[in-house]
Amino acid sequence: MRTAEISRQTNETQITIKLDLDGAGKHAISTGVGFLDHMLTHLAVHGLFDLNIQAKGDLHIDVHHTVEDVALALGQAF
């Protein structure tokens, strides 16, 4: 099976990603950034892979670190 589990922790974020490339588009995504959740959901659904992302970040400052670290972790998972 083509799967990956990635955890990324920095001073600003805590990210956990589970990816199954042979999935069916199932997803559970929570980053705290609504538009990012929306776009990642569409990637999973239309890409027909299962994606679970849980992210906590310093959103009280801005979304930059959360978006950046989710992207880096997702890239590693792929």
Residues 24-42 have pLDDT tens digits of: 999 999 999 999 999 999 9
Q: What is the pLDDT of residue 73?
A: 98
HEC-encoded secondary structure of the chain: CCEEEEEEECCCEEEEEEEECCCCCCEEEECCCHHHHHHHHHHHHHHCCEEEEEEEECCCCCCHHHHHHHHHHHHHHC
pTM confidence score: 0.94
16 has a pLDDT exceeding 90: yes
**64-74 residue pLDDT tens:** 999 999 999 99
CATH code matching the domain that covers 3-77, chosen among 3.40.605.10, 3.30.230.40, 3.40.640.10, 3.90.1150.10: 3.30.230.40
Which residues, listed in sequence order, are joined to residue 16 by a DSSP beta bridge? 7, 54
